[in-house]
Amino acid sequence: MTELAAGSLAGALAPRRRLVLLRRLAGHRSFQIGLILVAALALAAIFAPLLSDHDPSAMKVRFRFKPPSAAFPFGTDNFGRDIFTRVLYGARVSLWIGLAVAAMSGLLGAAFGILAAQFRRLDPFVMRVMDALMSFPAILLALGVTAALGPRMESVIIALTVAYVPGGVRLVRASGLVVRELDYVEAARISGASNARIMLRHILPNSISPLLVHVTFVFAYAILAEAALSFLGVGVPPPTASWGNIIAEGRDYATQAWWVMLFPGLGITLAALGLNLLGDGLRDVLDPRLKAQG
Amino acid sequence: MWRLISYRVLQAAPVVLIVSILAFFLINLLPGDPAVVIAGDQATPEAIAAVRHNLGLDRPLIEQLGIWFWHLLQGNFGASLMLNQSVLSAMVERLPVTLSLTMLSLLITLPIGVLAGAVAAYYRRTWIDSAIMSLALLGVSAPAFWIAILSIIVFSVGLRWFPTGGYAPFLSDPLLWLRSLVLPAAMLSLFQIGFLARMTRSSMLDVLSQDYVRTARAKGLGEWRTVGKHAFRNALILIVTAIGILLSTAIGGSVVIEQVFALPGVGRLVVQGILARDYPLVQGVMLIYGFAFVLINLAVDLIYTLADPRVRYD
């Protein structure tokens, strides 16, 4: 079979197959719950200014340590700041960091994984660097890199990307190594397809599904890790609200004002839960090996 | 077999080298002048020059790297600025706390995680499966440090079952040692149990759908022996690989948990080091952990290879 024929065959099948996958996803229980949770949190983050007329860092000492009430649904902290508003704005920071880390580690993972699979000389070098990065516990690596780059949001994104890139690289390389041995890819190579064409038309599409599943879980891990870094005081610096640093600030008076640290923690849990459910759904539907088991 | 083992060992050697280079660049990565960052904003030019000289930052980069490797070969992992102590001795002092914490946590994690995952797989698509997997999902989704603070409020402040913090070495007061570690270790285990249960369930499901399990059932082998002997034993192989990941996340998690429970371990040392701009300390600790995990991952790989004859490297 020529490469052209294989390509057009795949092209003809693609829309119907895509429809089947989408329908199966839409009917998957965890995917549904995950999607609702993540969409609700994302919308709350985007429309934060519409949902609350407070300023997230406005201090009103008169109202300090107010328990949850109609005026302050989640209560106030030691500066009289509205926790509901801070959690909303914190969602922006935490979700943005998670999304950025998922996207960047996915892109870099795809790039290095494909290069390692296609150019066999490059492979040992890339993979040994990934092994080395994986030798550091992820949180510790992120802690070291953020410390070196300074406590800023960008540092947190870079640090967590560095920590989560190796997983993506390994995944894409592994599926790339299988794909490049397939007959039709061999045929494409013999009929003169360039390296770039093989990488982009054959290896990349075949690794997209597992990478998508992986990246969804990275999104969840990154939100948890950002919270941990900010809690330790090396993440997003105050007064900018992130779910992690609201908990860190609320910790000192957790016994007298439990609401300060309760609600941002619930935010983190719901976000990670939603993303893990999304990932579970995507994996069940996209990974045919596990399909029969449910 | 020996070829395989030597191949894996040889593969680990460049990783050790790259780990050391990565740790070296951690300090040279500091934006601007590392000496200024370390000495602080208010430091006098003389103080900055002293820091630069002490850390050898006034030498060419390649020479610094050479000195770094020379020191490593002698087992010198650098010296802490804030403690006036070598990184190695500072770490060795605190390692028993961290190891007690992570080992106790693994002791809690392994039986519960494996059992929960196996039971869920066996009763798949029943309410038992759903209940166990929902809890496991909660375990991998809730931030451990947050649950840990809540647990202190409930169990230590409210019910007074555990001390709110602090630590006693095992040899001086075994009872206090256990009492001060049970709650932190349990909190550290929440994520791990969830992770392991999810992993065990899917690998058990994999095995239960295999032909040899069907054969075992077909030839009239009892259900207990089929699942217990054939399925479970095969799923255990996957758990060997999980150990490496579990240890790594436990050490990572211990950094946060030690901070919450004020345990004087290595994780707390690193955080103090970062806040005090003691970069050589952070660098040294990361390096030692990095080396340790190269060895752990190598050991896991070798055990995995020996345990499963199907695994072969080309």
Amino acid A237: pLDDT: 86
A161 beta partners: none
What are the residues whose beta carbons fall under 8 Å from the beta carbon of B94, sequence distance 6 or more? B264, B265, B266, B268, B269
pLDDT: which is higher, B148 or A288: B148
Beta strands in A8-51 (DSSP E): none
Amino acid A8: pLDDT: 43
Residue B108 near residue B186 (C-beta atoms within 8 A): yes
What whole-number distance in Å separates Cα of residue B52 and Cα of residue A101?
A: 34
Residue A3 near residue A187 (C-beta atoms within 8 A): yes
Residues of B in Cβ contact (< 8 Å) with A247: 143, 145-146, 149
Q: Residue A142: which of A225, A218, A248, A217 has the closest Cα? A: A225
Amino acid B168: pLDDT: 79
Residue B256 near residue A232 (C-beta atoms within 8 A): yes
Mean local confidence (pLDDT), A199-222: 90
Name residue A194's amino acid.
S
Which residue in A has a C-alpha nearest to residue B287's C-alpha?
A136
Residues of A in Cβ contact (< 8 Å) with B285: 140
3-state secondary structure of A82: strand
Residue A172 near residue A115 (C-beta atoms within 8 A): no
Amino acid A288: pLDDT: 59
pLDDT tens figures, A129-150: 999 999 999 999 999 888 888 8
Amino acid B255: pLDDT: 94
Q: Binning pLDDT at 50, 70 and 90, where does residue A207 land?
A: confident
Structure tokens at A74: 């989640």
Residue A74 near residue A84 (C-beta atoms within 8 A): yes
Q: Give the position of tokens 């024929």.
A: A5
Structure tokens at B262: 């004020």
What whole-number distance in Å separates Cα of residue B32 and Cα of residue B39?
A: 13
Rounded to the nearest 5°, which phi and psi values hold at A129? Answer: -65, -40
Which residue in B has a C-alpha nearest to residue A144's C-alpha?
B282
Mean local confidence (pLDDT), A116-141: 92
ipTM beyond 0.90? no
Of B149, B256, B290, the CB nearest to A135: B290
Q: What is the pLDDT along chain B (314 residues), one digit of tens a residue?
A: 777 788 888 888 899 999 988 888 877 766 666 677 777 777 788 888 887 777 777 777 788 888 888 888 888 888 787 888 888 888 999 999 999 999 999 999 999 999 999 899 889 889 999 999 999 999 999 999 999 999 988 888 888 888 777 777 887 888 888 888 999 999 999 999 999 999 989 888 888 777 777 888 788 777 777 777 777 777 677 778 788 889 999 999 999 999 999 899 999 999 998 888 888 888 889 999 999 999 998 988 888 777 766 655 54
Strand duo B85-86 + B79-80: pairing: antiparallel
Structure tokens at A23: 């329908």
Q: Is residue B126 within a helix (H) or strand (E), and if so which, with residue range?
A: none
Fold of the domain spanning B91-307: MetI-like fold (1.10.3720)
If phi > 0 it is left, if psi is from -120 to 50 it is alpha, else beta; for residue B222 that is beta
Structure tokens at B213: 């399990």
Interface of A with B in 266-285 (CB under 8 A): 268-269, 272-273, 276-277, 280
Q: Binning pLDDT at 50, 70 and 90, where does residue A85 land?
A: confident
Which residue in B has a C-alpha nearest to residue A273's C-alpha?
B141
Query: What are A282-289's contacts with CB under 8 Å, separation 24+?
Result: A282/A25, A282/A31, A282/A209, A282/A212, A282/A213, A282/A216, A283/A213, A284/A28, A284/A30, A284/A31, A285/A21, A285/A24, A285/A25, A285/A28, A285/A31, A286/A21, A286/A209, A286/A210, A286/A212, A286/A213, A287/A209, A287/A210, A287/A213
Mutation target vs A (from B33, B122, B145, B157; most A CBs, 10 A cutoff): B145
Burial class of residue A190 (count of CB atoms within 10 Å of its CB; 0-12, 13-18, 19+): exposed
Residue extents of the structural domains in chain B = 91-307
What are the angstrom distances between the C-alpha of B164 and each of A123, A247, B168, B179, B184? 50, 18, 13, 10, 10
Q: Give the position of tokens 């328990």.
A: A67
Which residue in B has a C-alpha nearest to residue A219's C-alpha?
B141
